[in-house]
Amino acid sequence: MQNITKLQSQSKQMLNQKLALNEMLNQGIRSLGKNLLWLASAQFSGRVVRLGASVITARLLTPEIFGQVAIVLTLFELICTPTRRITSAALIRMNDSDFSDNLASANLINLASCVIAFALMSLISVPLAYYYQDTQLVLPIIFVASSYLLLPFGMMYATANLRNNNMRKVASANLWQTIGDGVLTATLALSGFGLWAIIIPKVVMVLVWIYIHKKDTKLPVSTQKPSANQVKALLNFSVPVSLSDLINTLRQSIDYLVIGYFMGVEALGVYFFAYNVSLGVSLGLVQSFGTAFYSHICGSNPTSDGQSAQQKYRSSVIAITAIAAPIIILQTSLAPLYVPFVYGEQWISTDAISVFVFLCLSGLVRPMAEAASQLLLAHGHSHLNFKLNISITALLTLVISIASQFDLTTVACSVMVTYLIIMPWLCWYSSRITFTQSTVINS
- Distance (Å, rounded) from C-alpha 214 to C-alpha 347? 42
In this prediction, residue 114 has a pLDDT band, given cuts at 50, 70 and 90, of: very high
Higher pLDDT, 51 or 223: 223
Does residue 317 surpass a pLDDT of 80?
no
pLDDT of 293-315, one tens digit each? 666 666 554 444 445 567 767 77
Which pLDDT does position 113 carry in this prediction?
92
Q: With contact defined as beta carbons under 8 Å apart, do 240 and 69 qualify?
A: no
CA-wise closest residue to 46 among 168, 165, 173:
173
- Distance (Å, rounded) from C-alpha 25 to C-alpha 8? 25
Q: At what angle do helices 228-263 and 103-132 cross, to 10 degrees?
A: 20
- Distance (Å, rounded) from C-alpha 59 to C-alpha 214? 37
pTM given for the model: 0.67
Which pLDDT does position 17 carry in this prediction?
47
Higher pLDDT, 33 or 168: 168
In this prediction, residue 251 has a pLDDT band, given cuts at 50, 70 and 90, of: confident
Does residue 329 surpass a pLDDT of 90?
no
For residue 419, give every residue at least 6 positions away whose Cβ sits within 8 Å of its Cβ, in sequence order, or none: 362, 365, 366, 369
